[in-house]
Structure formats: structure tokens, C-alpha cells
């Protein structure tokens, strides 16, 4: 990235807008225009200061048991039928009963995950450009060509109050559906992670209906896909992307050249299996490089950072 000077005469580098995690610079159109720069003589960017970003810190020791009772109402969260995951394969039709396909005009556009009988967790950027009454949450389905899923209207969008659609900071939202879910073998809730762990080095699984190919391919998968990713440190992620990665995000490194979080996977869950054989959601697909470039780690909203917020709004 080329060096630049911000409007406040601070040293910085010219970055793509979504890669500058500084809402103070992008809080208004005027602030943005004052810091515009050009990347590689072709692309519009923003001059982003070099100083480090303060990580979000929350005390997670208080009322964890109460939180679990409020959010996971079934008592059977995180129980699927998978005993072994094969990266990049079609999913078992009962493997991920908490997966939600968000539909607009009868077309899939984003993923989500069911956390209780009324709320779907997704990415905030999946709620822009669409009205709540235009979103359908499809539950209990793994093949979108079938009519086996159950559709629920979305009656309320609860977007994080500090979400920044330019930087994708705090990229998390809750969708309230019109009526309580009827749980069965195809529809269950996911569990929440241990807030004291960062899961670096663990193997996590992404499930979704995202694009099957990178580049400009318009095709998403009709059948739910699953793939494994190793969780990498934020330092490694930042070094590869060339930008600061705050602790409110979690990154994975693609295991092979043709596997990455891609368009359409947005809002879907990054999950791992705990010692009690229950699946926990540790991340929500947020952003990655253009064209689903697998040379760069995929970036997810870190769920443990926002458990307090979820607890307050998903009831």
C-alpha cells in the first residue's frame, strides 16, 4: 500500500474503504472526501492512519449461565448428525439444522444461523439495501431447489448500533422472525462459544450456499456446502492483508487454492465442535478479498466479542 497523509496530517497508507477500521474517518461523507486517495492509479481508497486500534474488551464472567438460558431455549443446541467433515463437500441434510438461508425475491443472498426460537444471527451488511418485509428466513433446508424448508417472515431487524457500513466494523445483526420455530430433526439451534477462548489453531467449519467459484462467477450452490478452515492469529491475518485486524474479528486460512468464504456465504456461521460434541458458532462471515481470493485469510465477526449485545437483544 502506498503512503499518504490524512486530512489531519497523520502518516497513513491508502487502503480500500472496507479495509480501514477507523469509523472516525468514515463517519460522514465530508470526512471520507477529505481523505480520498487513489490505489494503483485505478481504485478509490481512503488514507488510513497507521496507529493501532484499541481492541474491544468485555468482562465475560458475569451471568454466563443466565445468558445460556436466555438464548438457547431448546436444551439441544449444536447437535447435528456429522461425525466427520469432508472439506468442500455437500452437507448431510441433517448435519447443520441451525443453518438459515436468507431469501429476497425468492433468491438466496445471505446466510444466517438460528440461535433461539425467534432469532437469526447474521452479518449487518446483509440487512442493507433490503427491507425487513422483503426478507424470508428459510429454515430446515439444505437443497434450495426443494420445498422441504419452512419459510418465516422477518418482522424486525436489530443491527448493531455501532455498525459502520463503510468499514464493516461491528458487522453483526439479529433478525426476529414472525413466530416461534417448531423444532425437529431438521431445525435446531447452534450453541455459543466459551467467551474466554480465542480458538486459534483449532479447525473450524464453514457451511453455506455461497458461490462455487471465485472471480466473477454468478453461481451460488443450491445444495448446502461445508468446508474446514484452520483458525489463524489476528497478527498473521493482519500481516497477510496489510491492515490492522482488531480482536472483534477472527480469521481463517483457506486449506487449499479453491476453498474460501465467498459471495453468498456472508452472514453464515463459522463453527467448531466442542469436547461435548456440540457445535458452537465462533464467527459470522463478514468480508474477504475481491474475487474470493484464497491467498488471503477470510475474515469473520468474532461472536464472543458480541455475546453481551446478543444477550440483550435476542430475547
**One domain, residues 272 and 298:** yes
Long-range contacts of 61-70 (CB under 8 A, 24+ apart): 64/195, 67/192, 67/307, 67/311, 68/192, 70/311, 70/314, 70/315
Is the pLDDT at 146 greater than 80? The verdict is: no
Question: Containing domain of residue 126, as a range?
Answer: 99-187
The pLDDT score that the predictor gives to residue 61 is: 39
* pLDDT tens profile 164-178: 887 788 999 999 999
Q: What is the distance in angstroms between the CA of the first residue and the CA of the last residue of the chain?
A: 44
Lowest mean pLDDT among 69-83, 199-213, 236-250, 284-298: 69-83
Is the pLDDT at 312 greater than 90? The verdict is: yes
**One domain, residues 138 and 156:** yes
The pLDDT score that the predictor gives to residue 269 is: 94
Its pTM stands at 0.73
**One domain, residues 247 and 164:** no
| Domain C-terminal end among 187, 213, 233 | 187
Q: Does 315 map to a domain?
A: no
**One domain, residues 44 and 114:** no
**One domain, residues 241 and 197:** yes
Q: What is the count of structural domains for the chain?
A: 3
Annotated catalytic sites, by residue?
Answer: 125, 171, 266
The pLDDT score that the predictor gives to residue 32 is: 74
Amino acid at each position: 500500500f502506498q503512503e499518504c497523509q490524512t486530512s489531519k496530517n497523520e502518516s497513513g497508507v491508502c487502503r480500500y474503504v472496507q479495509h480501514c477500521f477507523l469509523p472516525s474517518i468514515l463517519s460522514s461523507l465530508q470526512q471520507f472526501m477529505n481523505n480520498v486517495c487513489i490505489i494503483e492509479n485505478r481504485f478509490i481508497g481512503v488514507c488510513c492512519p497507521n496507529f493501532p486500534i484499541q481492541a474491544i474488551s468485555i468482562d465475560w464472567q458475569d451471568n454466563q449461565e443466565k445468558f445460556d438460558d436466555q438464548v438457547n431455549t431448546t436444551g439441544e443446541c449444536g447437535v447435528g448428525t456429522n461425525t466427520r467433515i469432508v472439506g468442500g463437500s455437500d452437507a448431510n441434510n441433517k448435519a447443520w439444522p441451525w443453518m438459515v438461508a436468507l431469501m429476497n425475491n425468492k433468491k438466496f443472498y445471505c446466510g444466517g444461523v438460528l440461535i433461539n426460537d425467534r432469532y437469526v444471527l447474521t452479518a449487518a451488511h446483509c440487512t442493507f439495501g433490503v427491507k425487513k418485509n422483503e426478507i424470508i428466513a428459510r429454515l430446515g433446508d439444505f437443497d434450495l431447489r426443494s420445498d422441504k424448508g419452512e419459510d418465516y417472515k422477518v418482522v424486525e431487524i436489530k443491527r448493531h448500533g455501532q455498525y459502520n457500513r463503510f468499514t464493516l466494523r461491528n458487522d453483526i445483526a439479529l433478525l426476529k422472525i414472525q413466530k416461534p420455530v417448531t423444532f425437529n430433526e431438521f431445525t435446531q439451534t447452534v450453541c455459543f462459544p466459551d467467551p474466554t477462548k480465542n480458538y486459534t489453531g483449532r479447525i473450524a467449519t464453514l457451511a453455506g450456499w455461497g458461490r462455487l467459484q471465485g472471480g466473477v462467477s454468478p453461481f451460488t450452490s443450491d445444495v448446502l456446502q461445508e468446508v474446514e478452515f484452520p483458525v489463524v492469529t489476528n497478527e498473521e491475518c493482519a500481516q497477510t492483508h496489510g491492515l490492522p485486524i482488531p480482536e472483534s474479528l477472527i480469521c481463517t486460512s483457506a486449506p487449499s487454492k479453491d476453498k474460501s468464504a465467498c459471495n453468498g456465504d456472508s452472514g453464515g456461521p463459522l463453527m467448531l465442535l466442542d469436547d461435548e460434541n456440540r457445535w458452537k458458532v465462533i464467527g459470522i462471515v463478514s468480508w474477504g478479498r475481491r474475487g474470493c481470493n484464497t491467498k488471503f485469510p477470510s475474515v469473520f465477526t468474532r461472536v464472543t466479542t458480541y455475546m453481551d449485545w446478543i444477550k440483550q437483544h435476542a430475547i
